[in-house]
Structure 1
């Protein structure tokens, strides 16, 4: 909570214009400093912050140094292409976010020079007197001078889903934010009533400003994919350096010309670096974002979509995320019994009404009282015209089945407005000549003393003291379950009962309200459990309300009391996580009355436990945690601008179920990234082994840098991209999340990569050696044979990555239409390199003898057969081990 200094003395008519201008010069404008965004230059620089880019830049420089300007330019072009794709996609995501920005509170009504004036909200200063009424957004933090049925929706700031009734005064020091009934806060919405308030804080000194500072001071952690790609880049750097220096040293010792040794070193460097990796990874994630965009999920930061695939814990807000952030009648408790009436949360409510409490005369009478003792304006077919207290709007929805004629005939004769003193509201209605109805609603302890009877269809019966105590206990039970409760009573008179009509009432029953849960949340939570993802609720709302909503959405069992940890308990548990405290933190699924800073601490706690944490939210109070989480997910429809700015993903339909769709897409992307990495690395490693082996066996440069670049950017990239765009293996959402400690390629993956590369190397070295030694062809012809053999075998190698080689023709690779498109395209371009004179000259292609085609195809099939044999042996060994176990 931001401590507010004592407000400056203010004249009764408010500030003068001169005094307001003086204070504005001292305090500055009443605006929030927006979250800093990357500049255009920083976006460009970020595209080049990669170890692999550094290696390629060095290779380009060496090529230029040795006079191979064309190779140097080609390598530099690859670097620029990668950077251009990454920049374009990030810039597009940023432009999409600009469309979501909402304006800050533009205008405010305040007393200036003794007159009500509408002034820019940015010009408000401490000491101004605000004039507030229903529909206003509060432009600054202010203490109330007077209030008339003033209710404010503070859910964006505190997590409280129900409007807060405000009263004049100054909150005692140390009062929690959610309990400050005497103060209104910048960015919250007035939903009913009116009042005047004295501004005590503006701009960054408001509670909203405090949260904004917390967001700006919170650093976003690198995504798991960025970390793993960086680690892979370092591994490639060491591999490239070791191979290049080793070969250069060997060539120098053999007395080979320096120029030739350096050229081969450049070839090795280019061969070791999968130039297409950044392109394919970026396009794979971009394709995933397009799929998610069709599901109304906006991805701001490309690696974020992959991070969802590794998410093991989701910390979710309650209001607006698990619930609809509006009020509905949840329960009615009548003398006939208790029943839940929540149509949006319980599709079977109609069945309940068919036989039971909701079909009885008592419920019909409550519906009548709810409509009559009501000042809201309700338009069921046009929500934009519905205004008033959210509780009274919910009562209109409860009374929706009443015939319109019955309400139109009930002429209102008198009203006793709700006040903080009486805590009830009453109205008198002329139902018919000689029949007046008194309708009363209010707090249970305020209504019961005026009741001497209990309403029944046959007429009122005596209400005993014991029964009054029972109804008080029932109201307390509802409140303990997190429901806001209103009591209803009525009386009938033959004529107008006079001004003091709240007397001799007949008790009718209780009506309890709750923010209804979203219908899609329960199945989404079940899907998360199946996928091994733990979902935790962290809200600023009351513990009882949090527990009730957790039961309704299936986060807790309906018969489970559930351990709810409050914000008061959390600091000690986090500071001293002893055995019992750690077990309690590990078991708890609901955290209530937590502040924005405590949500931040909670996320940090799970991250320190090696969890990948996702955070969902829509309010200003969620923004710091959204920024700190590994993946921040904001609600786009009802969410605040601050939350959307801090998040990585924005759900434009506010549906929690969209998170499950995004998680599945993230897992598909991660699985596909690992698949095409295996493909690329095995291809590149085989290139390194082939170049090294051939250079040792047949001194010279076996392939030119441009030829290697052609292979890496065509016969590697397009098949790899096809693998990246595939549907992924089946059953991803029935597996636990992948551990963030695991590298992208495990030791088993590297062994598999090495075996694949060895099989490809055997074919390549065999083709070159056979052509050179057996056929006696020139070095240029052997170079071309090796070039085309490597191109063909790499295209065929894509089929080695089916999840199960025993169902080859039904595998996801064979059924992937992108694979066949990539093969057709690459095949056509490879043929063009031989048939088009310009391409032939660029790649140093010479006419080949007819026997070369058979040699190229034969040694390519040899490599493919070796790979398939190795996969069959490995699968048989795994099956034998499993059966033995």
Structure 2
């Protein structure tokens, strides 16, 4: 077929698909097509094997260097040291494996949409089958409440409306008809098409199946979810880069040390032992564990704030986000239709409904003429809206599921807010007849009787209702038509209302028997969420650009963007999916227009992916919020996908990295703040770990070059890295929040975790500690007469205590030494106490003392250890104080 499905007639389509509109397929033909075309189900992404996950944990250069060090230790007879290094490898691999195994994603949520039954017409009979057995050419029989099992073209329709919000982002149900749509119509405007996974809200229809399984629009989205590969998060990428730097430092120092040692004629065994010590000293074995704990602690904090994190690194990623794409429906708006504006011939009123007493809603009105609220026209408008209505309102239960068309539910709420008791009202006005809405008449009329008086109530499209009414002049009618167009341009869905009263039973065509009295217009809108505006302002203060990307109408989208103050009140720029199709992303003009625009409407899932990719290629870290099936690919493609937990679909939740349990955009701002705090904490503990590790490298290297022996053994270095380094680093990683971080722009995503100023600090701290520790080693062995093993013991305790005290150097520049975020952190003091107890146990427990090759010290040696441990802190603080005065 050369034409698209939406532009062909039912007869042409039936001929092309070789099916009978009246009888459907034969059972034999349906079975044949099932065999040939496959089942009507979405393909399942094959999950990554457990072996592949495990292999990834150990397939890194750091692990291979540690493994090499372990093998060398075994070959040289250092069994305890070899097993200790292996234990570090196993612990790190097990931690990563468990986290990744729990985070594996599947397409099960999409498959759940396939398990519904379907009614089809086969062999001239209507039968119910599993939706998986629906095939191309089947005639679907659909009624209100049904899920559409496959993509199809409508061949018969009776007041059919379909909720497509999960697929297109439209707040309102889409009215469907048989007539073909334009060839280039987007999904939301293909009025003769039905799509798999959408829900019939009212009416009934027959439709020819045109696509099943992966060939459906839902299937195409599933394919995009498969193909939208996640790259490493910014934190993961930066830690990997940092690890590579450490590896090259390790290799360079080890090679230099070996070459110099060989040239000096030193023993090969001693040189290899020192190289192993260097390898262990250079690699901060606890860094990945500390990063995991810091992220997990942030995750727990966010859980208390109704934010569920599926991937730990996603917390930090959100902290670095500088662009957020947000859906409109259900994210910036309440995803429910409300009466927004009333237009009477005498004036306008703005309507706001708020929860009142006993579950009933109370109405607040605004306008130039509030006397209209007590006029007969106001009461008649509310009454007609409640009579020309087939919905049911569960009064007293505002959060319960309401039954009927969302617009009609909004009219009942408006009537209730206007003071009408709906229960007594339905008893007073007895319905006698109804003229249902159709695509031909575009009106709905009802006839009610009360105490011998007959009431005709009509609502519908403005042009059609105006044709049925009496007017003083044609200019008055044209004036109201112009007002309705203005309301539509503001993003409101507009209906006109009219009525007539009679003492006699009207004729069968009661809406056209006599001219009606025109009442006015009602504009409906999916209202914005009240907390969105301050949240958007907080994003602006934090230097984060927020962009609305929706499948809804351009005018509606721009109106909502203005109301929540995403854009200014005079903003006119809104781009549609059609505009993006015509854009050349290599053109500077088109690129500038995209960058200036903050509202994109009628955008399909593929275009959302293109937009995210466009910003990611610029170097931005992109967050994406959404709740519908149509958002799933973009949620997965983005650096950080955020799904709505209350109104969101299971598909969106599966594709996302984070889920908002309260659907509040303000929760995203809290998560961003927490992410920034976590990154700052990570940066601090990396500075701490690397300055400690570099001091170990310098101690071993300088001692080797100076020929004064080996002041530290490999197992002693490993013990310091795992115990006395890790616990203070953990305490730094769970530091308290810093609200000032949300009043500055996000960090440059192109910058590494550590900038040049951080590396200068690391080298300075390491040199100060190294000089003091080597000074202690030299003084103890040359002046106090300590032997090599006793010198190792003094060096071990001096370096351990110096590194413990070093944590107090890492407070921010605005703090004081005695009162800052470090001294206020209770975990720091707990870590200090725990590490001191562990160090005492290594001295007083014989087994630990033997394993670490430690010896008993006299009082002079202990005094020397204390002086050597405190001196680096004093020197660092003195230098800091001097630099603050310069």
Quick check: TM above 0.5?
Answer: yes
Does the aligned pair in 2 maintain the 1:2–1:210 contact within 8 Å?
no
Report the Cα distance in structure 2 between the residues aligned to 1:583 and 1:730, rounded to whole angstroms.
33
Does the aligned pair in 2 maintain the 1:635–1:644 contact within 8 Å?
yes
Report the Cα distance in structure 2 between the residues aligned to 1:348 and 1:813, rounded to whole angstroms.
52
Q: How many residues align?
A: 865
Note the C-alpha offset of 1:169.
Answer: 4.3
**Selected match of 1:422 from 441, 451, 467:** 441
Note the C-alpha offset of 1:228.
Answer: 0.8
Does the aligned pair in 2 maintain the 1:306–1:669 contact within 8 Å?
yes
Report the Cα distance in structure 2 between the residues aligned to 1:727 and 1:356, rounded to whole angstroms.
55
Q: Does 1:597 align with 2:612?
A: no
Note the C-alpha offset of 1:99.
Answer: 9.4
Note the C-alpha offset of 1:864.
Answer: 0.5
Alpha carbons of 1:810 and 1:8: their partners in 2 closer, same or farther (altered >3 Å)?
farther
Does the aligned pair in 1 maintain the 2:349–2:370 contact within 8 Å?
no
Alpha carbons of 1:250 and 1:521: their partners in 2 closer, same or farther (altered >3 Å)?
same
Report the Cα distance in structure 2 between the residues aligned to 1:108 and 1:395, rounded to whole angstroms.
33
Alpha carbons of 1:199 and 1:209: their partners in 2 closer, same or farther (altered >3 Å)?
same
Where do 1:37-52 residues align within 5 Å? 37-52=47-62
Note the C-alpha offset of 1:50.
Answer: 2.9
Report the Cα distance in structure 2 between the residues aligned to 1:730 and 1:53, rounded to whole angstroms.
37
Alpha carbons of 1:348 and 1:531: their partners in 2 closer, same or farther (altered >3 Å)?
farther
Where do 1:450-599 residues align within 5 Å? 450-452=468-470, 463-502=472-511, 503-557=514-568, 559-578=569-588, 580-599=589-608
Note the C-alpha offset of 1:274.
Answer: 0.5
Where do 1:443-454 residues align within 5 Å? 443-452=461-470
Report the Cα distance in structure 1 between the residues aligned to 2:538 and 2:3, rounded to whole angstroms.
40
Report the Cα distance in structure 2 between the residues aligned to 1:182 and 1:47, rounded to whole angstroms.
52
Alpha carbons of 1:838 and 1:49: their partners in 2 closer, same or farther (altered >3 Å)?
same
Does the aligned pair in 2 maintain the 1:221–1:629 contact within 8 Å?
no
| Aligned position for 1:457 | none
Q: What CA deviation, in whole Å up to 9, does each residue of 1:637-665 have, x standing for no partner? A: 33233323322222232222221111111
Does the aligned pair in 2 maintain the 1:2–1:205 contact within 8 Å?
no
Greater CA drift, 221-230 or 185-194? 221-230
Q: Does 1:710 align with 2:715?
A: no
| Aligned position for 2:386 | 371
| Aligned position for 1:828 | 837
Q: RMSD of the TM alignment (CA)?
A: 2.3
Report the Cα distance in structure 1 between the residues aligned to 2:699 and 2:673, rounded to whole angstroms.
39
| Aligned position for 2:206 | 196
Does the aligned pair in 2 maintain the 1:93–1:299 contact within 8 Å?
no
Where do 1:801-816 residues align within 5 Å? 801-804=810-813, 806-816=815-825
Report the Cα distance in structure 2 between the residues aligned to 1:653 and 1:98, rounded to whole angstroms.
24
| Aligned position for 2:228 | 218
Alpha carbons of 1:518 and 1:211: their partners in 2 closer, same or farther (altered >3 Å)?
same
| Aligned position for 1:460 | none
Q: Does 1:352 align with 2:366?
A: yes
Where do 1:132-147 residues align within 5 Å? 132-147=142-157
Report the Cα distance in structure 1 between the residues aligned to 2:545 and 2:428, rounded to whole angstroms.
55
Report the Cα distance in structure 2 between the residues aligned to 1:754 and 1:373, rounded to whole angstroms.
79
| Aligned position for 1:881 | none
Alpha carbons of 1:872 and 1:272: their partners in 2 closer, same or farther (altered >3 Å)?
same
Q: What CA deviation, in whole Å up to 9, does each residue of 1:687-735 have, x standing for no partner? A: 1111122233354332121111110011110100100001144401001
- List runs of 5+ in structure 2 lacking aligned partners: 6-12
Note the C-alpha offset of 1:538.
Answer: 1.1
Greater CA drift, 263-272 or 421-430? 421-430
| Aligned position for 2:314 | 304
Alpha carbons of 1:36 and 1:159: their partners in 2 closer, same or farther (altered >3 Å)?
farther
**Selected match of 1:186 from 184, 190, 196:** 196
Secondary structure, counterpart of 1:125 in structure 2: coil
Note the C-alpha offset of 1:94.
Answer: 4.2
State the TM-score, normalizing by the size of structure 1.
Answer: 0.94
Where do 1:280-319 residues align within 5 Å? 280-319=290-329
Alpha carbons of 1:809 and 1:483: their partners in 2 closer, same or farther (altered >3 Å)?
same
Report the Cα distance in structure 2 between the residues aligned to 1:3 and 1:691, rounded to whole angstroms.
74
| Aligned position for 2:158 | 148
State the TM-score, normalizing by the size of structure 2.
Answer: 0.94
Q: Does 1:777 align with 2:786?
A: yes
Report the Cα distance in structure 2 between the residues aligned to 1:805 and 1:681, rounded to whole angstroms.
23
Secondary structure, counterpart of 2:214 in structure 1: helix
Greater CA drift, 805-814 or 322-331? 805-814
| Aligned position for 1:441 | 459
Q: What CA deviation, in whole Å up to 9, does each residue of 1:477-496 have, x standing for no partner? A: 11112211110011111222
Report the Cα distance in structure 2 between the residues aligned to 1:775 and 1:92, rounded to whole angstroms.
56
Report the Cα distance in structure 2 between the residues aligned to 1:534 and 1:800, rounded to whole angstroms.
36
Q: What CA deviation, in whole Å up to 9, does each residue of 1:784-812 have, x standing for no partner? A: 01101111111111111111375233211
Does the aligned pair in 2 maintain the 1:574–1:605 contact within 8 Å?
no
**Selected match of 2:421 from 403, 406, 410:** 403
Note the C-alpha offset of 1:758.
Answer: 1.0
Q: What CA deviation, in whole Å up to 9, does each residue of 1:273-332 have, x standing for no partner? A: 101111101111122122222223222222221111111111111122212222222211
Report the Cα distance in structure 2 between the residues aligned to 1:709 and 1:619, rounded to whole angstroms.
50
| Aligned position for 2:343 | 333
Does the aligned pair in 2 maintain the 1:101–1:641 contact within 8 Å?
no
Secondary structure, counterpart of 2:470 in structure 1: strand
- List runs of 5+ in structure 1 lacking aligned partners: 454-462, 878-885
Note the C-alpha offset of 1:826.
Answer: 0.9
Secondary structure, counterpart of 1:731 in structure 2: helix
Note the C-alpha offset of 1:822.
Answer: 0.8
